[in-house]
Amino acid sequence: MTANTQTEKTGPLPTGTRATRTPTAGENPAKAAIRPAKVLVRAPDPLTHSAISGQLAAAPGIEVVAVGGTGPADVAVFVTERLTVDVTSTLRRLKSSLRIPVVLIPSQIDRADLFTAVECNVVAVLPRVAATSERIRETVLTAASGGGVLPTKLLGELLRQFEWMQREVLSPHGLHTSGLTPREIDVLRLMSEGLDTAEIAVRMCLSERAVKRVVFGVTQRLNLRNRPHAVAYALRSGVI
């Protein structure tokens, strides 16, 4: 979860607030700040799709788009009964093709579904019983601006699952959530500081061959091209 994740108790956005987005490459920041958030709606039936699309189309700061319509979407709104295998497959395809945040509006969601939802780029979960027009709008605008929304109970459950995974799955194997071991993190940190293999070996009391094995193991396991790519991966993961 990111640091700017909100719970349902977050105060509403002012009426008429428009989505502010991170500008894409070459895009004017001022233009990005005022452009409506483009939203793609997916629903299990035409009636639900029409209702959700109509509510969003009438909301300020939001533009509903079709697949292949007026430019790329900023957010996908996905309405479903529950997170079935078919729904999960669709979400994975959506993530692969569009790479945009997803607002999930389920009738029911189980604790076991939370990690799966996060893996599918779901950044907000709004239970269907609470999905009023204003709540949907607020949630979509939050997702468009890079935030997340989870009901308080689901957020607590997700954090408990995360803690369990770190304690029971990763730590016993010497792994971090980034997929890197503490030694690998240390080597990559020193590489990011400009040290060469010999200098890293001296600093860590290892042989140069051991340092090379660490770097080779990281690049092979994580399918990274070279040392700079490995350092960039560690930076993006927030471990160095």
What single string gives the DSSP state of each residue in 89-117? HHHHHHHHHH---EEEEES---TTHHHHH
Amino acid at 163: E
Residue 72: predicted pLDDT: 83
| Distance separating alpha carbons of residues 223 and 5, to the nearest angstrom | 30
pTM of the model: 0.56
217 pLDDT band (50/70/90 cuts)? very high
Write out the H or E segment, with its range, that includes residue 211.
helix 208-221
Instruction: For 2-50, write each residue's pLDDT tens digit.
Output: 444 444 443 333 333 444 455 555 555 545 556 889 999 999 999 999 9
User: Taking CA 78 as the corner, what is the angle to CA 93 and CA 17, rounded to the nearest 5 degrees?
Assistant: 120
What is the C-alpha radius of gyration for the chain, rounded to an integer number of angstroms? 21
* Average pLDDT for 219-230: 91
- Phi-psi group of 125: left, alpha or beta (phi > 0 → left; psi -120 to 50 → alpha; rest → beta): beta
Please identify which residue in the block is written with the tokens 């939802």.
117
User: For 178-206, b where at least 16 C-beta lie within 10 A, e where not — what string?
Assistant: bebbebbbbbbbbbbeebebeebbeebeb
Residue 209: predicted pLDDT: 94
Report in angstroms the alpha-carbon separations of 109 from 83, 91, 105, 119, 222.
7, 15, 9, 15, 32
| Distance separating alpha carbons of residues 143 and 227, to the nearest angstrom | 34
Q: Who contacts 175 (Cβ-Cβ below 8 Å, separation ≥6)?
A: 181
Q: Who contacts 151 (Cβ-Cβ below 8 Å, separation ≥6)?
A: 7, 8, 125, 127, 130
The average confidence (pLDDT) of the chain is 80
Do 154 and 108 form a contact (C-beta atoms < 8 A)? no
The structural domains of the chain, with segments of one domain joined by +, span: 5-164, 174-237
| Distance separating alpha carbons of residues 237 and 161, to the nearest angstrom | 19
CATH 3.90.226.10 assigned to 5-164: no
Residue 83: predicted pLDDT: 86
| Distance separating alpha carbons of residues 31 and 23, to the nearest angstrom | 8
Identical fold between 5-164 and 174-237: no
Task: Write down the CATH number for the domain with range 174-237.
Answer: 1.10.10.10
Instruction: For 160-207, write each residue's pLDDT tens digit.
Output: 766 666 666 666 766 666 678 888 989 999 999 999 999 999 999 999
